[in-house]
Structure 1
C-alpha cells in the first residue's frame, strides 16, 4: 500500500515507542515524514532507518508554542505542504493526589494537552489547504480513571474532548480530527511494568485478549484513521485496548 505517497506527515515523540513505529508505518506507505522529539540522538537513529529523501528530523519541545510553530514552518519549507499531524508526544506523572507537586501537574498538562493544541493550531492553515487529518494519541486513561494517575487521566481526558471539539470546528474546512486510545503498551514509558512479571500478569488479566499492546499495532490504526480509507471518520476516539473498554469492571472468573 502507498496510501501516503506524495503526502507529508509530522509525528511528535518520534524517537521511540509508538511514535517511532508510526513514523516507520507512514514511510513504508510512501509518505514523507517529519520526526519530532526532544532527544536528538535517538531521533537521528530513527531517521537513518527511513528513506533520506523523505525524512526530516526536527528537535523540538511541543510544550513550547514557538517551537511548535517553527516545527510546522520547517516542515512546509522542506516539503511544501502538510497532510497529516500525529500529536503523539506525552509524559506521565503518578502518585497519590496529595503528593503531586505543582511542577508535576504542569509538566503533564504542558506536554500532553498544551502540546496537542499548539500543534493543531499551527498546522490548521496548511491542513485546510490539503484537506488533511489530525490524529491525537490519547489513552484508555482518557476515557476512564486509574488508581494514582490523576494528572495523566486529566490530561488524556482533556485531549479526548479537545479532539471532539476540534472535529466540529474544523470539519467544514475539510480537516478531520480523531484520537486513538491505547491500553498498556510495550514502550519505554512502561518499561518498569514490563520488567515486573507479577504486575504485568495481573494487568494482562484485565485485558480480554490477555496481553499488552505492541507499538506497531497502534501505528497501523493511526495510519488507517489518517488515510482516505477513513474519509468519513472524524471526532472519534478509537479504542486500541484489547477489549478493556468492553468490561464493566468485574474481575476474570
Structure 2
C-alpha cells in the first residue's frame, strides 16, 4: 500500500474530489482527517471509512482557529501529520462587472489564504515527518473563463504559491509542495449547479468535442489517482510542480474542423 501508516488532512473532503481522495488514501493504507461544511455528509463518510481510519471536524476553514484545530485533531487522534491536501474551495461565477473588492477578498480567503494558513500550522509536523502538501487547483488557473474571474484569480494565486513554497520548503526542510489542476470533473456539486441552471439531467452525455474529446468528463476517482501518486513516497523528490489533469492541451489546442475559419 502506497500510503501505509500516513496521516493525511484533507479539507473539503465530505464530497466531490476531496471525498474521492480521502477514500483512495484509506485504501492505500492512510489515516485521514476529514473536513467540510455539511455535517450529515461528513458523518456518512466517517461511518463508511471507520473510526480506525478517520476523524472528522466540520468547520469553515476561514475561521481564525480552523487550521490549528484541524492540525491538532490529526495529532490527537493519530499522533502525527504526514500530509496536507488543500482541496476546499468555493466555485462561484463572476466577471469584471460583478467582481467587487469584497467579493474577491471572500473568494481569495477561502481558496487561497486559508490554504496558506493550513500549511503554516502544519509545517512543524510536516518537517518532522518529511511530509508534503498537495494543493487542488483548476485549469482555470491558467487564465479561466470570463465568468469565473474571481475563482480563476484565486487558483492562479494558488499555483504561484505552490511553485514558491514547493521550492523554498523543499530546499530548506525537505517538505514537498505540489498541485493538481483538474479539468472538468463530474461531481455531485457540478450536477447540482447544472440543475440549478435548468439543464437536463443527462447533460453530461452530450458534450461538444471542444470540451470533452473523450466524450465524457473526469470522474473524481481519476483525480484522486493522481493525488495518491503525488502524496506517496514513490513520487520521489518531485516538488513545486503542477499536474494538469485535462483531456486536451491548454496551449496549442487543436480546434475542431467546424471551428475553422469562424474565428479568424
TM-score by length of structure 1 reads 0.92
Q: Using the alignment, how far apart are the partners of 1:90 and 1:46 within structure 2?
A: 19
Q: Cα deviations across residues 177-221 of structure 1 (Å, max 9, x unaligned)?
A: 000000111123322337735975455533333321110000110
Displacement, 1:143?
A: 1.7
Checking the alignment, whether the CA contact within 8 Å between 2:182 and 2:245 is kept in structure 1 is yes
Q: Could you tell which deviates more after superposition, 112-121 or 57-66?
A: 57-66
CA distance in 1, matches of 2:248, 2:94: 26
Q: Structure 1 residues 60 and 178, CA, compared in 2 at 3 Å: closer, same or farther?
A: same
**Quick check: 1:209–1:243 contact (8 Å CA) kept in 2?**
no
Give the match for residue 232 of structure 2: 227
Q: Which residue number in structure 1 is paired with residue 44 of structure 2?
A: 45
Q: 3-state DSSP class of the match of 1:184?
A: coil
Give the match's secondary structure for 2:250: helix
Aligned equivalents of 2:43 and 2:101: distance in 1? 33
The equivalent residue for 1:160 is: 159
Larger Rg: 2
Question: Residues 207 and 216 of structure 2 are in contact (CA less than 8 Å); yes or no, is this contact kept in structure 1?
Answer: no
More helix by share: 1
The SS at the match of 1:52 is coil
Match of 2:199 in 1: 196
Given that 1:61 and 1:68 are in contact with CA atoms closer than 8 Å, whether structure 2 keeps it comes out as no
| SS of the residue 2:57 aligns to | strand
- Deviation, 1:104, is 2.8
Which structure 1 segments of 5+ residues have no match? none
Distance in 1 (CA, whole Å) between partners of 2:228 and 2:169 is 20
- Are 1:248 and 2:253 counterparts? yes
Q: CA deviation at 1:108?
A: 1.2
Whether the aligned pair in 1 keeps the contact of 2:210 and 2:255 (CA below 8 Å) is no
Residue 219 of structure 2: which of 203, 210, 214 is its match? 214
Structure 2 unaligned segments of length 5 or more: list them: 259-264
Whether contact under 8 Å (1:206, 1:251) holds in the other structure is no
Alignment length (residue pairs): 252
1:115, distance to aligned residue in structure 2 (A): 1.5
Match of 2:109? 110
Give how far 1:97 is off.
Answer: 1.5
